[in-house]
Amino acid sequence: MRRLPSFFALRAFEAAARLGGFTQAGEELHLTPSAISHQVRALETWFGRALFTRGVRKVTLTVDGQRLLDQLSPAFDQIEDACAELRPLQSRSELAVHCSPSFAAKWLGPRLPQFMAAHPSIVIRMSSSAEPADLAKSTDIDVDIAYGLPPPHANVMVEPLGLESTVPMCSPRLLEGRDSMTPADVLRFTLIDSKVNPVQWTDWCKLNGLKLPAGARPSFDRGSMVIAAAVDGMGIALETTRFAQRDLERGDLVILDGPSFHRIERVTHFICYRKSAIDNERLIAFRDWMKAQLLPAT
């Protein structure tokens, strides 16, 4: 017979310790903070020692609590993976893909018809949000295309999706009457901020030996909105050529470039999926198709 405390108490403790509070744990487990506190108290009674140090508005793990969390979280991960493997899929043909709204609108969405034509038996179920999906919890999502490197997880594969060039770009109407541009000339225009982009104007100015002028700038919290503002002639955007590829090809935007310009190149997107699904044929087909589509940015 196993000598174990209540599973519900262990689950409440693990959630509170991982998320940093009883309120957050209650939101995840759909319980009140007092119910989480009661479960944790029962667990502390079972062990005969404190697992949290309780403050006025927050709790912190004791040494014993941290030791328990270090052992308990991997065990819950294994339980979750074992259950996910046996859980029936909603549809054998579906592949649930999650990504940021801008990636969906500017890159993935316009190309999905090509994937569907090449793989007619696979039905893509798309969702998007500003926050990356947590594949350790979101069992209804098969693939997450993360914007920025996600936190490491023992049971999640994370693969980079190649370097992206982030460059200043604007409507060609903004440059009428100018034969050439230097990096210093860029700063004479209205600069558009992209709040969620890991590359900012300060980074570009530093790389190009310039000082960013002080003052407020128009800003947007979506890369797609930044690009749309640049197309409309609001000013100069600093965005990835991956997001702007179609606008550049149509001539709605031009890149401000030349011998004196230095580009910023970074890996900013990653494809994430569970290690337990590494042999999933639908997932492999989608991953390989994406990598084939992602040619080096120009």
> Has residue 195 been placed in a domain?
yes
Give residue 168's domain range.
163-266
Q: Domain check: are 157 and 275 in the same one?
A: yes
Q: Domain check: are 129 and 181 in the same one?
A: no
Q: How large is the average pLDDT for residues 67-92?
A: 75
Q: Domain check: are 139 and 225 in the same one?
A: no
Q: For tokens 């991953």, what's the residue? A: 287
Q: Domain check: are 21 and 81 in the same one?
A: yes
> Has residue 275 been placed in a domain?
yes
Residue 116 has a pLDDT of: 92
Q: Domain check: are 289 and 197 in the same one?
A: no
63-72, 147-156, 249-258: least confidently modelled range: 147-156
Domain-ending residue, one of 32, 62, 86: 86
pLDDT band at 124 (very low <50, low <70, confident <90, very high): very high
User: Given a cut of 50, is residue 91 above it in pLDDT?
Assistant: no
Domain-ending residue, one of 55, 86, 117: 86
How far lies 279's CA from each of 79, 91, 157, 282, in Å? 20, 17, 12, 9
Q: Domain check: are 253 and 183 in the same one?
A: yes
Q: How large is the average pLDDT for residues 230-239?
A: 96
Q: Domain check: are 174 and 52 in the same one?
A: no
What's the angle, vertex CA 208, arms to CA 205 and CA 209, rounded to 5?
85
Q: Domain check: are 174 and 241 in the same one?
A: yes
Q: How large is the average pLDDT for residues 234-249?
A: 93
Q: Domain check: are 157 and 277 in the same one?
A: yes
Domain-ending residue, one of 67, 86, 105: 86
Residue 95 has a pLDDT of: 92
DSSP for 117-160? HH-TT-EEEEEE-SSPP-TTT-TT-SEEEEESPPPP-TTEEEEE
**242 three-class SS:** helix
Q: Domain check: are 276 and 133 in the same one?
A: yes
Residue 84 has a pLDDT of: 65
Measure the CA–CA gap between 294 and 164, rounded to whole angstroms: 10
Q: How large is the average pLDDT for residues 54-77?
A: 87
**Most confident range, picked from 2-6, 53-57, 74-78, 280-284:** 280-284
pLDDT digit string, tens, across residues 179-229: 788 999 999 999 999 888 888 999 999 999 999 998 899 999 888 999 999
Contact 253, 244 (CB under 8 A): yes
> Has residue 133 been placed in a domain?
yes
User: Given a cut of 70, is residue 88 above it in pLDDT?
Assistant: no
> Has residue 298 been placed in a domain?
no
Q: Domain check: are 101 and 169 in the same one?
A: no
CATH number of the domain enclosing 196? 3.40.190.10
- Dihedral angle over CA of 14, 20, 21, 27, nearest 10: -70
**Please, what is the average pLDDT of the chain?**
88
Q: How large is the average pLDDT for residues 55-70?
A: 87
> Has residue 155 been placed in a domain?
yes
> Has residue 144 been placed in a domain?
yes
Domain count, the chain: 3
Q: Domain check: are 218 and 137 in the same one?
A: no
Measure the CA–CA gap between 265 and 203, rounded to whole angstroms: 11
Contact 45, 36 (CB under 8 A): no
